[in-house]
Chain A
Amino acid sequence: MPRQFQRGTTSMNSLEPILAKHPFFEGLDPAYLKLLVGCASNVRFDPGAYVIRQGEGASHFYLIRQGRIALETRAPQRPPIVIETLEEGDILGWSWLIPPYLWRFDARIVEPTRAIALDGKCLRMKCDENHDLGYELLKRFAHIVTQRLQATRLQLLDVYAPNA
């Protein structure tokens, strides 16, 4: 399936209120939003498209505004395994933050999706220049990572299995 990736023409100024409204950036200092908006672009994906591919360079992360995305991993001689779905208010991807900056999963569009893409290299540069911004971002990603780790642990327990 070819990747379908459409960048919008929304100006950076009009992206700032969108960033501010997204739950991931809730309560973030407006000064930081002004820094971040320079790394942001509006994107749209159609069902079936792959936003990211396992093993490829993790160049962005995404603030999902609308739609549904399935995080998948591949297994030999069987269909891909869906690990989790993400939707409005969620974020997709933290591999841009951690070396070697490679995606660990595939992300397939399930329903038409609109998102804000944030350029990872641009973000890392801004975080290196402004450690307060970097710390704030890291706290927010740590919260997401913790939530997903807890969810994965519960998922692994397979609590609804017969005789579980």
Chain B
Amino acid sequence: MPPTLEQPGISHAASDPMRPEPYFVASVSRETHDTFTLSVEPANGVPAAGFAPGQFSMLYVFGVGELPISISGDPEQAGRLTYTVRSVGPATQALVSRVTGDWLGVRGPFGAAWPLEAVRGKDVLIIAGGIGLAPLRPAIYHILRHRDDYVRLIVLYGARSPGDLLYKKELAAWGRSPDTQVLTTVDYGGVNWRGRVGVVTTLFRHLRMHPDKTVAFICGPEIMMRYVITELEENRGVLANDIYLSMERNMKCAVGFCGHCQYGPYFICKDGPVFCYQKLRGLLGKHEL
């Protein structure tokens, strides 16, 4: 069967999903004071696992632990996998401390992807907060590469401060693409910052949307996503069926065995991380879920 966006061609998970494959770090670049992008390549001569935008891998730092990390690279760049990682604890710190040539264990890719084939012919509105831009970047790469398959591409991106904005050069380049609008904002800006200050939902007032022709992909802190969904549904008239979001929970096995990431009737690792909002209505924001 030929590879598709929702079913990538080569997946190590198909053979033994619990066995990490050896990869080596091909490059590390600093994005912000606490966020780094790592590219890894297979160390055993086999092709790198293919992936669909929105999927994640389990990255194993030997002797430290294993982490679920979204793939942030170009899905059509064969031979390597790219991850953007924010250092927030010992395991992520160990991960971002890897240097070129270091080894990692990689399982995956896993999970449901952004429905890029199903939304062809629509305006795609991408709304990202903080590190949430990373799982959306492969979708942006795909849309820009297959520009005729989609109508408008709108990227709304909010970060904590100007120094926390990811992929600054790419954001500027995307904004220069035809039929593409990129708006960024920060929650806190100093007096020398000439860009926008305000939460990501404030960017909506600069948009002219066609709700019946728009599909929204959202990734960011869950509270931010709830505010964004409220804006989309109540003020912009976008239907729940046209809203997709990437969820995050504590994932361990990544294949729905262990139950760590259970979310109501779903496992985030297996049924998600990308969900149609229609499925999560009533679950999002529910106490102790």
Say yes or no: B201 contacts A150, CB within 8 Å: yes
Q: Which residue of B lies closest to A70 (CB)?
A: B197
B194 at interface (Cβ–Cβ under 8 A)? yes
Q: Which residue of A lies closest to B159 (CB)?
A: A160
A-side interface residues toward B, CB under 8 Å?
23, 68, 70, 72, 79-85, 87-90, 108, 110-111, 147, 150-151, 154-155, 157-164
Q: Which residues on the A side are within 8 Å of B190 (C-beta)? A: 79, 82
Residue in A68, A154, A161 whose CB lies within 8 Å of B227: A154
Q: Which residues on the A side are within 8 Å of B129 (C-beta)? A: 159-160
Say yes or no: A82 contacts B193, CB within 8 Å: yes
Say yes or no: A154 contacts B191, CB within 8 Å: no
Q: Which residue of A lies closest to B200 (CB)?
A: A154
Residue in A79, A84, A151, A161 whose CB lies within 8 Å of B160: A161
Say yes or no: B194 contacts A111, CB within 8 Å: yes
B90–chain A nearest beta-carbon distance, Å: 12
Say yes or no: B224 contacts A87, CB within 8 Å: no
Task: Tell me the complex Cα distance, A158–B221, Å.
Answer: 10
> Given A151-B199, A155-B187, are A164 and B206 also a contact pair (CB < 8 Å)?
no
Task: Tell me the complex Cα distance, A81–B130, Å.
Answer: 21
Q: Which residues on the A side are within 8 Å of B164 (C-beta)? A: 160
Q: Which residues on the B side are within 8 Å of A87 (C-beta)? A: 196, 206
Task: Tell me the complex Cα distance, A88–B205, Å.
Answer: 10
Say yes or no: A82 contacts B130, CB within 8 Å: no
A71–chain B nearest beta-carbon distance, Å: 8
Say yes or no: A159 contacts B224, CB within 8 Å: yes
The SS class assigned to the A binding surface is mixed
B256 at interface (Cβ–Cβ under 8 A)? no
Q: Which residues on the A side are within 8 Å of B227 (C-beta)? A: 150, 154
Say yes or no: A85 contacts B196, CB within 8 Å: yes
Say yes or no: A90 contacts B198, CB within 8 Å: no
> Given A160-B159, A164-B221, are A80 and B202 also a contact pair (CB < 8 Å)?
no
Cβ-Cβ contact count across A and B, 8 Å cutoff: 76
B223 at interface (Cβ–Cβ under 8 A)? yes
Interface residues on B, range: 20 to 34
**Interface CB pairs A-B, < 8 A, 27:** A70-B189, A70-B191, A70-B197, A79-B190, A79-B191, A82-B193, A83-B197, A84-B197, A84-B198, A85-B189, A85-B196, A87-B196, A110-B194, A147-B202, A147-B205, A151-B201, A154-B201, A154-B223, A155-B187, A157-B223, A158-B160, A158-B187, A159-B223, A160-B129, A162-B34, A162-B88, A164-B221
Task: Tell me the complex Cα distance, A98–B201, Å.
Answer: 26
Say yes or no: B196 contacts A163, CB within 8 Å: no
B59–chain A nearest beta-carbon distance, Å: 20
Task: Tell me the complex Cα distance, A157–B189, Å.
Answer: 16
Which residues in window 63-99 of B have CB below 8 A to A? Answer: 86, 88-89
Say yes or no: B198 contacts A159, CB within 8 Å: no
B220 at interface (Cβ–Cβ under 8 A)? yes
> Given A72-B191, A79-B191, A82-B193, are A160 and B201 also a contact pair (CB < 8 Å)?
no
Q: Which residues on the A side are within 8 Å of B189 (C-beta)? A: 70, 82, 85
B7–chain A nearest beta-carbon distance, Å: 33
Say yes or no: A84 contacts B221, CB within 8 Å: no
Going nearest first, the 6 A-B pairs with the smallest beta carbon separation are A160-B160, A160-B130, A159-B221, A154-B199, A85-B197, A84-B198
How would residues 246 to 270 of chain B score, 1 for a CB under 8 Å from any chain A CB and 0 otherwise?
0000000000000000000000000
Q: Which residues on the B side are within 8 Å of A85 (C-beta)? A: 185, 189, 195-198
Q: Which residues on the A side are within 8 Å of B198 (C-beta)? A: 84-85, 151, 155
B49–chain A nearest beta-carbon distance, Å: 30
Select the residue from B89, B220, B223 with max chain A CB neighbours within 10 A: B223
Task: Tell me the complex Cα distance, A160–B189, Å.
Answer: 14
